[in-house]
Structure 1
Amino acid sequence: MAVIFVKFFDVVPVRFNLWVMLFTSCWVVYMLRVNMSLNLIAMVPQTAHNSTSRSQCEKDDAVSNVTLSRVDGVDVHAAHVKQIPGGASFNWSGEQQALILGSYFWCYPLTSLVGGMAAERWGPRYVVLVTSLVSAVLTALSPVAANLDYIALVIIRFCLGCAGGFIYPALHVLVARWAPPAEKGKFVSAMMGGTLGTVLTWSLTGPLMEKFGWASAFYVPAAMTMVWCFFWWYLVADSPAEHPRITDAEKNYILDALGDKVKKSKGLPPFKSIVTSLPFLAMTILHYGNLWGLYFIMTVGPKFVSSVLGFELSAAGVISALPYLARLFFATIFGVIGDFILGRKLLSTTAIRKFFCVFSHVLPGILLVLLVYAGCSTALSVALITMSMGFNGAATLTNLQNHQDLAPNYAGTLYGIANCIGSTAGFFTPMITAYFTSTGNNFENWRPVFFLGASVYIVSALFFIFFGTGNIQPWNFAADSKDTKEDKTNGDLKEMNGSSIKIGDSKEVKETPLNVAK
């Protein structure tokens, strides 16, 4: 039965299989990343004597939620009475909990920095496979670590971040090698698979913990990841030329569409040109603003929904997941719109990147500001935070694709550098939130946190609008400029994957971007 099920994937186009695996790989890595945010609510009991654990909205009798009941911290603690062996609760302080949440990102930026280069040199297939398997094992060990000491759990989360940092840059290398320019938006939208991972994790973790104990919220994702790794190993290859089951027609279509813009790296990327590039700096700042808002809602969203708006544990997971579901939905729509506009040559790539910053960054920032003035109107608060993250789905047309425009040959490296810098937001947001909410969980304490997030969103977008571009950069060809000149002098035909492609002078090649509408 298993063989028949696997063989089914061989009858569909390889690009579709790859899109599915890209989508689910992001799903898996986020599932292992975000489960701790909700798990901590069950692992650490909230006592009636701790005034910071009580909901401000809970005290307002005039405001009631008839669809989802609100309970205080004592009820949340009592909700998970059925625990598997070893499912004890812990008396960890707010600072210790913030340390556990933030430890994932201590090493994540560094491994993200080298992840793209590792995938460009050794291939993204095995980089993703190995790091995913390691992440699954570490997640399964988390309950044991928690029962030893919170420091042991911090170490586990630290190692998880080390492994997880490799995955996204490696996936962008895979996109650069497989996605034809006309389908780039759809492939990049697959990176929103992490959104589904967040949605399902937060939607299912609450009921799972309440029935089987919080440890099950670690074991189930770990087991699912191990099963996924088998499909990744079978279905994915580093490039079309290396896939054992791809048809000649599909392989030639992809290779002809990509031309000679992307090839396996033989040396180090041109770091000097990269770090001194103003367009790359603008893209990095835009990416940082995006990750600040994303990590803010991902790491402290469940706490805001549970402690301030006052939803019970299982409801907190569902409500906290809604923004990510909206982000997934909008990302798919924006990806299709972007490919349509680019295919019809209605706007240049640069114009597309800058225009959609209004949706990916500016509107989410404005909605975050409005959120803190919604008060205890739970329906309005949930709607605002959901739309804020939903509009951020337009990031598939801005920061999540711009590095592919600038240098497709080094897409993994560029994303790795930007993600290294941007991922520090995941370390700072829990700390900043803990600082402002140390005296209580009310709207006055949370207001500066939301203001800061909105400011980062909007300022980063403005910087990119002024200094960003969607044009390919000359240093994309730095490693092979000598070979290109020799091809022009000798008038040779370059044989590439069985098809003869005429190589013009280096100036002509530089002016033919991979993803720029003429």
Structure 2
Amino acid sequence: MTMSIAIPAMVNHTAPSSHHNDSIERPSPDFPDYQNETSKEFKAEAPVYDWNPEIQGIILSSPNYASFFTPISSGYLAGVFGAKRVVGAGLFISSILNLFVPMAADTGVTLLIVIRVVQGIAQVMVTTGQYSIWTKWAPPLERSHLISIAASGALLGSFIIFAIGGLLSQTIGWPYIFYIFGGIGCVSSLLWFPLVYDDPVNHPFISTGEKEYILCSLAQQDSSPGWSLPIKAMIKCLPLWAILVFYFCHYWPFYVMMSYTPTYINSVLEANLRDSGILSALPFISGFICIILGGLLADFLLSRNIFKLITIRKLFTAIGVLFPCLLMVCLYWVRSSASTTVAFLVLSPGLSSLCDSGALVNILDIAPRYAGFLKGLSQVFAHIAGAISPTVAGVFLSQYKELGWRNTFLLSAAVNMLGLVFYLIFGKADVQNWAKEQTFNNF
């Protein structure tokens, strides 16, 4: 996310070809105090690069270019060496590389892309490995809630980065976004190792009552994958394919919005860097709140037997796709109104976060014993979407000056809707036969 908020300040949209220039900001009638404020503000001097929209799209997509090769191996390594080590290592590698991004950008686009590719691989270790922890820590009736709280951390972190990043760009310069948040990540990784444990059995601080409660609640659930996988059965399983296809389709617009929200606000609404950062941060706080509330509501409906589990998964998924798609499609036609645009951008991720209590957590329902591996497999599809969608958006914005944003939003909404239809038809929430016991020919 540091690159997403920094790139509007890193790119010179108006000056002729050059390597270093002063930051260029444009006034907007939607922000009437802009000229008075910016005339008094300190102008940060930082390198500015002549990257066209296609290059920007490649840079924003680059963390996903090799990431889809990593999730399965990361899930496997988490099962062998422990998720604690895999997640901690990924967090540290990604954070330390963030400190070198400004130097890489100054050296050339190629080195910058290489660093971001390695960062993407390291971040997959974090997102994939943590699911191996939840299979040993999350009681089934609390699973949606606990995972939603954990997932909300990504939204809260993005909110902080965007809210502060625009201000940093405008005052002390965009390189400090990478220095500050890379440093915070390094400190966090050092705290991770002494504080986190792979399972409640070995945790030194957990109470005996809580430990017994977690272990008893998981006793009837076989979550030990052994050393082989029922690959043939998995390939034939339509409920699994429903989840995997949905991951690809859902993360297509997700990566577009995560990558381009600051650029959209900066270019279309013509906000300055500080205002762009603040406005770009607002969608994340709505997502942070709604993802927690969605997990609570899903577990409440399940514990009170108000709906069946599959009904909850499909209902939350449908709401989390339909309304955000409608808002995304409307963005192009309300761009003349800054307040309406911001309102749509804020509402969309909040509603979309309901999918985290729907299809995105469904793997733990159909195959809890293979959660680490299948979460890695689902991330393969998510990262393929992340490798394609920002790059496609960059091509649209480069080739269609007037209709680039419209085409980007329409395509993203169409892909997301396709994934919803496929999931509603084939999605299930029962533990699959191949996930109960290994009676298949495995390889």
Taking structure 1 as the reference length, what is the TM-score of the superposition?
0.79
Structure 2 counterpart of 1:36: 3
- Considering Cα pairs closer than 8 Å and 6+ residues apart, tell me whether 1 or 2 has the greater RCO: 2
1:170/1:437 CA distance change after superposition, 3 Å: same
Q: Is the 8 A contact 1:103 1:154 kept in 2?
A: yes
Amino acid in the other structure paired with 1:350: I
Deviation at 1:164, TM superposition (A): 0.9
Structure 1 counterpart of 2:317: 357
Structure 1 counterpart of 2:50: 91
Deviation at 1:121, TM superposition (A): 2.1
Residues 202-233 of structure 1 deviation map (CA, whole Å, 9 limit, x = unaligned): 11011112222221111111111121123211
Q: Is the 8 A contact 2:155 2:285 kept in 1?
A: yes
Deviation at 1:244, TM superposition (A): 2.5
- Quick check: 1:408 aligned with 2:368? yes
Structure 1 counterpart of 2:283: 323
SS at match of 1:309: coil
Counterpart CA distance in 2 for 1:360 and 1:346 is 20
Counterpart CA distance in 2 for 1:68 and 1:452 is 36
Structure 1 counterpart of 2:126: 167
Amino acid in the other structure paired with 1:387: L
Counterpart CA distance in 2 for 1:266 and 1:249 is 29
1:219/1:66 CA distance change after superposition, 3 Å: closer
Counterpart CA distance in 2 for 1:481 and 1:176 is 23
Structure 2 counterpart of 1:310: 270
Structure 2 counterpart of 1:9: none
Counterpart CA distance in 1 for 2:226 and 2:246 is 29
Residues 494-515 of structure 1 deviation map (CA, whole Å, 9 limit, x = unaligned): xxxxxxxxxxxxxxxxxxxxxx
- Quick check: 1:465 aligned with 2:424? yes
Counterpart selection for 1:65 from 30, 33, 36: 30
Amino acid in the other structure paired with 1:82: A
Residues 455-478 of structure 1 deviation map (CA, whole Å, 9 limit, x = unaligned): 112121111111101111111133
- Quick check: 1:282 aligned with 2:242? yes
Deviation at 1:450, TM superposition (A): 0.5
SS at match of 1:438: helix
Structure 2 counterpart of 1:448: 407
Counterpart CA distance in 1 for 2:157 and 2:339 is 24
SS at match of 1:166: helix
Alignment of 1:326-337 (within 5 A): 326-337=286-297
Q: Is the 8 A contact 2:26 2:271 kept in 1?
A: no
1:70/1:448 CA distance change after superposition, 3 Å: farther
- Quick check: 1:181 aligned with 2:140? yes
Q: Is the 8 A contact 1:70 1:312 kept in 2?
A: no
Residues 286-311 of structure 1 deviation map (CA, whole Å, 9 limit, x = unaligned): 22222112111001111111111211
Counterpart selection for 2:167 from 195, 201, 207: 207
- Quick check: 1:345 aligned with 2:305? yes
Structure 2 counterpart of 1:233: 193
- Quick check: 1:105 aligned with 2:64? yes
Structure 1: 5+ residue stretches without partners: 1-33, 59-63, 483-518
Counterpart CA distance in 2 for 1:322 and 1:48 is 30
Taking structure 2 as the reference length, what is the TM-score of the superposition?
0.92
Deviation at 1:385, TM superposition (A): 2.0
Q: Is the 8 A contact 1:143 1:218 kept in 2?
A: yes
Deviation at 1:440, TM superposition (A): 5.9
Counterpart selection for 1:152 from 111, 124, 128: 111
- Quick check: 1:82 aligned with 2:49? no
Residues 328-382 of structure 1 deviation map (CA, whole Å, 9 limit, x = unaligned): 1111111111010000011111111111122111111111112222131111111
SS at match of 1:47: coil
Structure 1 counterpart of 2:437: 478
Counterpart CA distance in 1 for 2:109 and 2:433 is 49
Structure 1 counterpart of 2:337: 377
- Of the structure 1 ranges 127-136 and 366-375, higher mean CA displacement relative to structure 2 is found in 366-375
Structure 1 counterpart of 2:13: 46
Counterpart CA distance in 2 for 1:200 and 1:335 is 22
Counterpart CA distance in 1 for 2:120 and 2:187 is 21
Amino acid in the other structure paired with 2:7: L
Structure 2 counterpart of 1:424: 384
Counterpart CA distance in 2 for 1:461 and 1:142 is 37
Deviation at 1:436, TM superposition (A): 1.5
Deviation at 1:94, TM superposition (A): 2.7
Q: Is the 8 A contact 2:160 2:281 kept in 1?
A: yes
Deviation at 1:56, TM superposition (A): 11
**Percent identity (aligned):** 28
Structure 2: 5+ residue stretches without partners: 18-22
Counterpart CA distance in 1 for 2:105 and 2:3 is 11
Q: Is the 8 A contact 1:117 1:412 kept in 2?
A: yes
Structure 2 counterpart of 1:399: 359
- Of the structure 1 ranges 228-237 and 463-472, higher mean CA displacement relative to structure 2 is found in 228-237
Residues 416-467 of structure 1 deviation map (CA, whole Å, 9 limit, x = unaligned): 111101212212222211221115654x321111111111121211111111
Structure 2 counterpart of 1:23: none
Counterpart CA distance in 2 for 1:176 and 1:345 is 23
1:275/1:68 CA distance change after superposition, 3 Å: farther
Amino acid in the other structure paired with 1:35: T
- Of the structure 1 ranges 362-371 and 250-259, higher mean CA displacement relative to structure 2 is found in 362-371
| Higher gyration radius (CA) | 1
Amino acid in the other structure paired with 2:285: L
Q: Is the 8 A contact 2:56 2:394 kept in 1?
A: no
Q: Is the 8 A contact 2:105 2:112 kept in 1?
A: yes
Counterpart CA distance in 1 for 2:153 and 2:64 is 20
- Of the structure 1 ranges 224-233 and 335-344, higher mean CA displacement relative to structure 2 is found in 224-233
Q: Is the 8 A contact 1:308 1:441 kept in 2?
A: no
- Quick check: 1:138 aligned with 2:97? yes
Count of residues in correspondence between the two structures: 434
Q: Is the 8 A contact 1:110 1:165 kept in 2?
A: no
